[in-house]
Amino acid sequence: MTKVTIFQNASGRNMGFEVFDHSGYAEAGEDIVCAAISMLVINTVNSLERFTEDSYEADVDEDSARVRILFDEEPSHDAELLLKSLVSGLTDMQDEESYKDFIDVVFVEV
């Protein structure tokens, strides 16, 4: 199961995320859940880099399929919008009956 942690501050603003582990939906190369999660995460990270000037820590471990992004301070409006889009896509997947056993999204205050 892919585990997703969305980091939020006390006022509910998204401050980053961590995604790790493989979904286990299907064999490598056939796993549509893992592919969808990967595309959402990669697109978010690339968009944060290309379209914002926000400062954040990034940590990636390909072996465990772990990506962690944590902002140094509250994200800009544009970065927050990108994070909200990621959260929307991931929680929509979790809410889908066919995929709910393969992704777990939790929210943690930092």
The beta strand positions in 9-102, using DSSP E, are 14-20, 56-61, 66-71
- Taking the CB of residue 40, how many other CB atoms lie within 10 A of it? 20
* Cα gap 3→102, rounded to integer Å: 9
Bridge-based pairing of strands 103-109 and 14-20 is: unpaired
Domain residue limits at 23: 2-109
Are 104 and 22 spatial neighbours (Cβ–Cβ below 8 Å)?
no
Query: For the residues 99-109, what does the mean pLDDT come to?
Result: 97
Provide the number of structural domains found in the chain. Answer: 1
The per-residue pLDDT for range 82-98, each reduced to its tens digit, is: 999 999 999 999 999 99
Question: What CATH number is attached to the domain comprising 12?
Answer: 3.30.70.1490
The per-residue pLDDT for range 48-73, each reduced to its tens digit, is: 999 999 999 999 998 888 999 999 99
Is the whole-model pTM more than 0.85? Answer: yes
* Cα gap 1→100, rounded to integer Å: 9
Determine the residue type at 2. T
* Cα gap 91→31, rounded to integer Å: 18
Q: How many residues does the chain have?
A: 110
- Taking the CB of residue 47, how many other CB atoms lie within 10 A of it? 17
